[in-house]
């Protein structure tokens, strides 16, 4: 799918989402990418209005990653999610490339992602995910680095629930995403609460129909 900042949305509340999978081997065809399909499955279940997607599959090259992020913001994406390339290996440069594209950093997302992942694996302390905002003229986008594994993607976005009661023990980061997009001028995105409850202060909530 293609769109630009001037093109009409299919619905006023539709999010335009860029999905970027960073992997040397997947981008070269050595194996099938799993990150973007996992992101699409989760987002399709979580959002009440089907989003429009732009996708990029690229190698672990800093300049290419930054270029893809910049292009997706220019194309009109409200939210960009990357997957892969956030560990300590020498080829893992997604966080640096993301910061290169940033006009401001949002450190709370990275802090919360590591807190969630530490509930599952001790190696979460090795993760270097960041989140940033990129602003251009009349438009801004939230960019978030996510893990590379589908299971970890879901855990990070959705959070941790009690297996018996279903109550949220550790909120997933997506709970804060819709309000952040409100604040930077994007559409009013809403979620299915059984997947993730999007939090907004009372003053920012729409009146019930």
Neighbours of 127 (CB within 10 A): 22
**Reported pTM:** 0.95
Q: Quick one: pLDDT at residue 30? A: 79
Neighbours of 205 (CB within 10 A): 12
Q: What is the pLDDT of residues 54-93, one digit of tens each?
A: 999 999 999 999 999 999 999 999 999 999 999 999 999 9
- Spans of all domains in the chain: 16-199
Q: Quick one: pLDDT at residue 156? A: 95
DSSP secondary structure, 13-41, as one string: TPPEEEEEEE-HHHHTTSS---HHHHHHH
Architecture field, domain 16-199: 3-Layer(aba) Sandwich (3.40)
Q: How large is the angle between the packed helices 35-46 and 150-158, nearest 10 degrees?
A: 30
Average the pLDDT over 28-39 and give the result: 88
pLDDT at 209 over 80: no
pLDDT at 14 over 70: yes
pLDDT at 2 over 80: no
Handedness of CA 94, 20, 106, 98 (dihedral sign): positive
Q: What is the pLDDT of residues 145-173, one digit of tens each?
A: 999 899 999 999 999 888 888 788 888 99
Q: Quick one: pLDDT at residue 61? A: 96
Average the pLDDT over 23-33 and give the result: 82
CB contact burial 70-88 (16+ within 10 A = b; e otherwise): eebbebbbbbbbbbbbbbe
| Mean pLDDT, rounded, of the chain | 93
């Amino acid at each position: 799918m293609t769109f630009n900042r001037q093109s009409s949305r299919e619905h006023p509340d539709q999010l335009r989402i860029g999905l970027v999978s960073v992997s040397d081997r997947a981008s070269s065809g050595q194996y099938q990418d799993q990150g973007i399909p996992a992101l699409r499955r989760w987002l399709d279940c979580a959002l009440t209005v089907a989003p429009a997607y732009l996708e990029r599959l690229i190698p672990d090259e800093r300049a290419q990653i930054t270029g893809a992020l910049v292009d997706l913001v220019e194309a009109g994406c409200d939210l960009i999610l990357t997957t892969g390339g956030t560990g300590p290996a020498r080829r893992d440069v997604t966080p640096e490339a993301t910061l290169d594209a940033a006009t401001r950093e949002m450190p709370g997302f990275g802090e919360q992602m590591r807190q969630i992942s530490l509930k599952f694996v001790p190696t979460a302390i090795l993760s270097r995910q960041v989140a940033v905002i990129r602003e251009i003229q009349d438009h801004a986008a939230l960019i978030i680095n996510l893990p590379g594994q589908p299971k970890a993607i879901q855990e990070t976005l959705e959070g941790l629930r009690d297996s018996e009661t279903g109550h949220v023990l550790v909120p997933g980061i997506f709970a804060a995403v819709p309000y952040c997009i409100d604040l930077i001028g994007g559409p009013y995105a809403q979620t299915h609460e059984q997947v993730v409850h999007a939090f907004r202060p009372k003053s920012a909530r729409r009146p019930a129909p």
